[in-house]
Amino acid sequence: MKEEPTASELATFGAGCFWGVESDFRELPGVLDATSGYAGGTVANPTYQAVCSDQTGHAEVVAVRYDPAIVSYERLLDAFWEMHDPTQFNRQGPDVGGQYRSVIFYHTPAQRDAAEKSKALLDASGRLSRPVATAIEPAPTFYPAEDYHQRYLEKRGGGH
């Protein structure tokens, strides 16, 4: 008897440089795949160089394919908040520009509602010294980054 493939869903997050974000999501049980890429801009098929010019409007993002029977979207949101500083606008640490913005691109109304609720709870928690700057927007076209960006830290053996 042939096994049915695992049902999966897609989530897309921008939290600064995608190398560490991709690596962090890959470590979560229930994450089936994580792909570095670009979303939210005005140019079709952008290159890394074009995105880094901060002229295309794209963010560096990670598309996360996950099994909702193992990991909930809410757990992905919790991980997202922990892996970056969501109070920084258009930057993460030394990386400055709109391509490094904190953004949640939702794929369904349920994801939008969960993201808005999670953001409001984080803002109200008192854990952060500034308001959350993370944008919550409908998922636009996702463009996978060049091959050398995929599993970048894993290939290089580096931390983030």
Return d(Cα 123, Cα 126) in angstroms, integer. Answer: 7
Q: Which residues are catalytic?
A: 17
Sheet strands (E) in the chain: 9-15, 31-39, 59-66, 91-92, 95-96, 102-106, 135-138, 142-144
Give phi and psi for 60, each to the nearest 5.
-75, 125
> In whole angstroms, what is the distance from residue 119 CA to residue 131 CA?
10
Output the six-digit token pair for 101. Answer: 């913005």
